């Protein structure tokens, strides 16, 4: 595109980056595209950073992923639900449930909770590791924050942790709150 003096826009760069992440490329490859993007006067956006977080995690570079995650605000970006989903799921896959809980708490505060599948993974892994109290805190925190939306598949989370709709689970431990 450069040969014809056409400069891609941010969306086109993000598609290129997505392709590299899906192809399990090294973070250095993705960073080169980000650098090219900046050299062409474009500012990496939240989507760009989400892919970078994903790439770092998939390559086992969780420290670098955390730096990107924590630095979003300083780059003029704001985490979206996908930021929380990707980072939380990758932390859970790695077995860092405390990190997953931290990211979940951040998402809850911002009312940008990851989708049911991602939250279910966190809850199931907590239960599997015999951290039922923490799993209950996740579910009761969601129910309190999104009472009107806590229907359908979300109710399945209550069954996983042994709560019914009349049991708040608050006697076990502090509820995750925003």
C-alpha 5/C-alpha 174 separation (Å) is 58
C-alpha 85/C-alpha 114 separation (Å) is 5
DSSP code for 113: P
C-alpha 145/C-alpha 1 separation (Å) is 47
Strands in 7-162 per DSSP E:
none
Among candidate residues 52, 49, 116, the one with its CA nearest the CA of residue 89:
116
pLDDT in tens, the chain (178 residues): 556 678 899 999 999 999 999 999 999 999 999 999 999 999 999 999 999 999 999 999 999 999 999 999 999 999 999 999 999 999 999 999 999 999 999 999 999 988 999 999 999 999 999 999 999 999 999 988 888 888 888 888 999 999 865 544 443 444 455 4
DSSP code for 40: T
* pTM (predicted TM-score): 0.84
- Domains of the chain, by residue range, sit at 1-78, 97-178
């Amino acid at each position: 595109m450069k040969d014809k003096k056409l400069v891609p826009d941010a969306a086109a760069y993000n598609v290129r980056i997505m392709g590299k992440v899906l192809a399990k490329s090294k973070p250095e490859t993705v960073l080169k595209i980000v650098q090219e993007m900046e050299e062409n006067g474009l500012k990496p956006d939240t989507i760009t950073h989400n892919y970078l977080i994903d790439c770092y995690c998939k390559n086992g570079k969780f420290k670098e992923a955390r730096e990107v995650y924590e630095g979003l605000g300083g780059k003029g970006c704001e985490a979206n639900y996908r930021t929380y989903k990707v980072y939380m799921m990758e932390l859970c896959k790695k077995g860092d449930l405390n990190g997953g809980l931290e990211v979940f708490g951040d998402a809850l505060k911002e009312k940008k909770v990851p989708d049911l599948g991602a939250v279910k993974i966190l809850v199931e892994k907590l239960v599997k590791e015999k951290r039922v109290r923490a799993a209950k805190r996740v579910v009761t925190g969601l129910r309190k924050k999104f009472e009107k939306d806590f229907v359908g598949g979300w109710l399945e989370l209550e069954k996983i942790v042994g709560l019914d709709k009349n049991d708040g689970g608050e006697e076990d431990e502090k509820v995750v709150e925003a």
